[in-house]
Structures are given as structure tokens and as C-alpha cells.
A and B are shown apart, each in its own frame.
Chain A
């Protein structure tokens, strides 16, 4: 059985100041079949090497977008990456089947807790309402949408909860692709 290859696209603009995400990523680092690609470390000037990125993607079965949620979306460099790397004719469109059949997994943290992500909460919507752009991106590239792994209220979380969340993350990565609730692309949740 071939070992699954996992690529984590980690996009944190202030990794050194991070608590939760840093803990999570350090947990993931110990797995041999996981490659962690720190975007802000590699491309501080936002000058992305598209060819290199595409080669990396070829060699992955599971593509993870791991980042803190900024303004209901991904940090700027991850967006820049998406804009440049997922080219027409390569990721989508005629002849664009490089990512077809691969798995897409969003691993994200939010500052606001679950309560704030309610219709009458601070953010006015459940968090799922902010997922369609991610889902449709995966969809258009022919990728399978996996249930996101989310951490809400990352600022208030205590150390124990944080450690457990990180351990769980590691366990999921380790057990991939044997996941209990593999959801296919399409309807959210």
C-alpha cells in the first residue's frame, strides 16, 4: 500500500506570535508523510514560484489549507497563492485536471467563538456561510471537499484544550485517508 502524501499549505503572517496554530503545526511536523509548506516563510515578498508550487501539488494526495481566518477568508498570501498557482488549463478549464481526484481539507482557526458565528451573533452568520468560496474552489478543480477542521475562539482557548486540538489534528493526518466521515464535494455540512 502506497503511503499517502500530505501537503500542508500553512499561511500564517505572524507565526512567531501564534499560539494555537503554532502548536498544531508543530504537532503535524512529526509525521513523515506530511510536508509542511510555510508560505509566509518562503514568500515574504509575495513572489510565488508557480512551477515549484504546481510540482509540489502533483506529489500530494491531500492538500491542506491551514491558516487563521482573517476577515472571513484566508490570509493575503494564501489568496495570492490561489490566484497564481491554480491556473486555467492546469487546475481547471480545458486540460486542467492536475488536481482532479485529490482531497481538499480546510484547517482553520477563528478568533470569535461559536456563539459569535450565529445569525444573531457578532458575525451574523454561522461559519458554514463563509465556506462556499473554499468549497467552490475545490469543486472547480475537481477535488473532494473534506469536512473542515475548525477551532473557534482560538484566543480564549486554554492550553489543555489547545494541546488536545493539536493532538487530534495529528491523529487525523496520521489516519488519512481512513476518515470516518468523508464527505464528498457539494452541499456544505
Chain B
């Protein structure tokens, strides 16, 4: 037991120590993890020595990352990005590979090694690039979305690359047999994924959601991702691509937010672990043997790749002050390189030694990227900004100004009024049946427990202006009010009150935009009854308005005393007597004809 717990302890300790320090020094979390890995790895303090296993395990973090990214997108957006993905992506991979291939040949490397090396290293690190974009909140910028599209393409491109590796090798291609069968299997798997995602997963999610047990929902989310990975792996496809597709298929489902909230913590930790593993896998032994060769390779690699990327940035019309950032962002080698080189080594296209050298080069390039970005921030950006900013492209905000928590009879009316007036809504509800049927009417409704901060954050609470708390459980609504006030102090609250006591509890917490759930409708009913009893409709209207004003006034008058029941009863009685007196004086006027001003 002690042995199995020791490693997690070390990882966690390394992360907890290194990352805050790195952030404090302005180095970014990614670099912190990488350095932590180097520190605890075989070449640092030597606390961990079996690096391979951890690298594989933590790749799961990358996989989760891609799933969550898929969730964020919806298929329509993906389709609309296809030009960027395939156009720009292929340009990037093609040109960088060409550049690296040419350079490698020029220094006399065997063409097969050069080809594999060039292709593998043309791919960038999805994990680093996306983590960096996320950390700096730059995902919605032109550089960010260009980078994202290219990374997506790279994930797709990795598949044919992996397929090409054995063809170059001397050894017999292993695994899945002839090309035809393999292609068929791939197509079948993708079809299964799409079919399952569209028609199977959501009903299952509904059933699980109805059990109302969060942990089972979380378990299913993980199950889904892992199962997709294994499925992909069985046909030799990229796991990350598979989960990305799965995510995209679920992106417009009502469970998106819940899935995101559940998996986000896992993703974060596992990604961190991944970066630690990369740090650990930097084989300083090889490095020490041929430091200059390796440094030279790293330098050459970075220069060529960055140069090509910079050129592409200009072609893609990325704003001037983001071009260098874009180039640095994607300049490193990626996780796939490890996979490609490993496969190449197995197929004996690369010798183990060359494979190790390449891995070190890639790992070093990954470590260097955060440093490059730091350089960009500290040195280049001020210079660029001094030259005057050009107007950037605007990506329209994804977040709606109003969140509605609870979309039952009450929340729906509020929501529909807002919707009819062009106000964007994000709706949260926790009844799967409700959610299901409402979506048929075209609302964006998401399933989730609105009292969870992470869910609210995913729903855009940071940027929204107001939240309507329309849930019917009074204690839960109070909890939600407190949670919102704690985590999102800027967010205005509009709350439904079940009854007067609930109203007072809400007022206690400083909520000022309130509405009793039955008051107005009961009043309207009263008006209708008066009309049925031959009151003129304007008279009934005025009577109701008068009653309403008096009622609200009484409500506020009684508020300070509501804790004291006794006091309240006597004041309420007094209030009623006042009202009766008011109506009486009103009524007298009708018989008292000639004194009155109206005729």
C-alpha cells in the first residue's frame, strides 16, 4: 500500500510546490509542471524512475481535454470551421514537414528518418497550446481559433502518419493486417461512434440523470471517455480524435454543462500529470552525451517551425500583434511525436537511439515553449503594442446576459418574455424530463444542479449580468443565493419567493428583485371574480391595484418583525382593518352622489 501511494504523493507534492512558484515567477502553470517533472524524474532528484507508464496514463489527460473541447464546439461550428481545419491545417503540417525534411536532407540524414522525423515534429502539442490559450483566456481570438483549427487537423493527420510508419519500415507491419480491412474497421468505428453519440448516449444519460445521483453521472462520463478511447485504440486510431468526436456529438445535448463540470477537475489534474511526465521523460543522459548536437537540433527545429508558422500567420491574416504569439504557441513538438517515434522505433525505421534523441528534442522544445512565450510577453509584446494596435476581429461573446436557474412554470414565463425581446438565455434545470421536452421548443436548456458553482461558471456566470432563481425548493434557492453572492458578487439576483417567509429570508440576504409566485395571479383572479359580480372592469382594476399597493406596504412594514410571530399577528390584523376602512370610504362615495367630483 505504501508503495502505491508514494508515487501519487510525489506527483501531487511536485505539482503543489512547482506550479504556485512558477505562476509567481510569471512562468505559467505548464512550465511549472514540466520543471516539476524534470525535478522529480530520473535526472533530477530521482524520485521516480518508471516514466513510460506515467506518460501513458497521463495521456488520458490529453484525451479528456479533447473530449471537453469537443463538448464546447457544436457540429455546426465544426463544419463551419472546416476550411480552417483542412485548409490551414494541411498548409501548416505540409509546409513545416517540408521545411524540416529539406533541412534534414541537407545535413545528410537518411531520407526515411528525415521523413518520419519531419512529419512527427510538424505536429504541435495540443496540450500545451490549448492549456496556454485557456490560461491566458485567448481561445476566442483569431490566433487562438486558428491554432485550435490547426491542432484539430493535426489530430486527424496523425492517423495517416501512423499508418505510413510501417510502410517505411523494414519490419513486418504489425497489428491490424491489410490496408483494406483496417480502413473498413476505421470507418465502422467512426460510424459506431456517430450513431452511438446521436442515438444511444443521450437516452442513457437521461436514465442516469433521473437517478439523481451525481457520482453515477460522473462515473458514466468517465466510462464514456474511456470506452471511446479503447474503441479508437482497437483500430489504431488516435484516442484523442475519438473522444473529440464523441464530445462534438454531445455538444448540443442538454447534458453538456453537467458533463463539463464533472470532467473538468479530472482533466486539470491529469493534464498536469502529463506535463510532469513529459518533464520526467527528458532523457538528460542522451543530452549529456551529445549536448551540442541536441541543442543544435532543437534550435534548428524551432527556428524552421517558428518561421513557417510566422509566415502562415501572415497568410491567414492574423492580427499583427498576435502573429508572433501564434508562431510561438505552435512551435513545439507534440505528444504525437512521442507516439509516432515510438511506433517508428518498433517498426525499425528509426533506431532506438535516434528515436530517443528525437524524443529529447521534442521534450526540450516543449519545455522551451513557455519560455518563448514569456519572452514574447516581456520583450516583444510591449514593442508591438507600442506600434499601435490594429482593430482585432471580434468573435461574438458566447455567454448570455441572463441565466435562469429552474425552468418550470415560473421560470418559463420569465424566460419566454426575455426571449421574445431578444435577450440571450442560458437555462439550467434539474429535471431530465422537463429539460427534454423543453428542448423540443427550441430553448437552450441544460441539465444540472444549479447550486454547483462550477456548473454556474460553465454556464457563464462570470460574464452574465443577472441570474433568475426560479427553482421551487425554497432552502435550495437560499443556498443558491448565498453561493452566487459568494462566487459571483457582480451577478444581479432576481428571485422567486414561494411564500412570505421565503420572501423575508431572501430579503435577509439582500435580494431586492423579488416576486411572490402566486400573488399576482391570485390578484388577477380576484379581479376577474369582481367583474363576474358586475364590478366595472376599470373599478376592479383600481381595486386590485389599491389592494396590491397596500399588501406590499404591509409586507415591508411587517418585515422587521417577522421573526416575532406574536407581533406579526397583531400588526397583520391592524393592517387588515386599515384596508377595510379604506374600501369602506371608497364605497360610500357611490351612494353619496353629489359630493363627488366625477360625473
Residues of A whose CB lies within 8 Å of any CB of B are 12-21, 40-42, 44-45, 68, 109, 111, 154-156
* A44 touching B599 in the complex, CB below 8 Å, given contacts A17-B590, A19-B593, A155-B594: no
Rounded to whole angstroms, the CA-CA distance of A41 and B542 in the bound complex is 12
CB of B537 within 8 Å of the partner chain: yes
CB of B597 within 8 Å of the partner chain: yes
Which residues from 507 to 546 on chain B have a C-beta closer than 8 Å to any C-beta of chain A? 535-542
Which residues from 110 to 168 on chain B have a C-beta closer than 8 Å to any C-beta of chain A? none
Q: Give 28 pairs: A residue, B residue, CB < 8 Å, sorted on A.
A: A13-B538, A13-B598, A14-B538, A14-B598, A15-B536, A15-B538, A16-B536, A16-B590, A17-B589, A17-B590, A17-B596, A18-B598, A18-B599, A19-B593, A20-B599, A21-B599, A40-B536, A40-B537, A40-B538, A41-B537, A42-B537, A44-B538, A44-B542, A45-B541, A68-B598, A68-B599, A111-B599, A155-B594
A-B interface pairs (CB < 8 A), number: 46
What residues of B have a CB within 8 angstroms of the CB of A40 in the complex? 536-538
B541:A111 contact, CB within 8 angstroms:
no
Which residues from 432 to 488 on chain B have a C-beta closer than 8 Å to any C-beta of chain A? none
B599:A155 contact, CB within 8 angstroms:
yes
B596:A44 contact, CB within 8 angstroms:
no
What residues of A have a CB within 8 angstroms of the CB of B597 in the complex? 111
* A41 touching B598 in the complex, CB below 8 Å, given contacts A16-B590, A17-B590, A19-B593: no
What residues of A have a CB within 8 angstroms of the CB of B599 in the complex? 17-21, 68, 109, 111, 154-155
Rounded to whole angstroms, the CA-CA distance of A170 and B89 in the bound complex is 86
B541:A44 contact, CB within 8 angstroms:
yes
Top 10 closest pairs, chain A to chain B, by CB: A44-B541, A40-B538, A44-B538, A44-B537, A154-B599, A14-B598, A41-B537, A16-B536, A17-B590, A15-B536
What residues of B have a CB within 8 angstroms of the CB of A18 in the complex? 598-599
Which residues from 573 to 599 on chain B have a C-beta closer than 8 Å to any C-beta of chain A? 589-590, 593-594, 596-599
Among residues of B, the one whose C-beta sits closest to the C-beta of A70 is: B598
Known contacts A18-B598, A45-B541; 8 further A-B pairs (Cβ under 8 A)? A12-B598, A16-B535, A16-B590, A17-B590, A40-B538, A41-B537, A111-B599, A155-B594
What residues of B have a CB within 8 angstroms of the CB of A13 in the complex? 538, 598
B594:A16 contact, CB within 8 angstroms:
no
> Per-residue 0/1 for B11-47: is the Cβ within 8 Å of any A Cβ (1 yes, 0 no)?
0000000000000000000000000000000000000
B539:A14 contact, CB within 8 angstroms:
yes
Rounded to whole angstroms, the CA-CA distance of A43 and B108 in the bound complex is 92
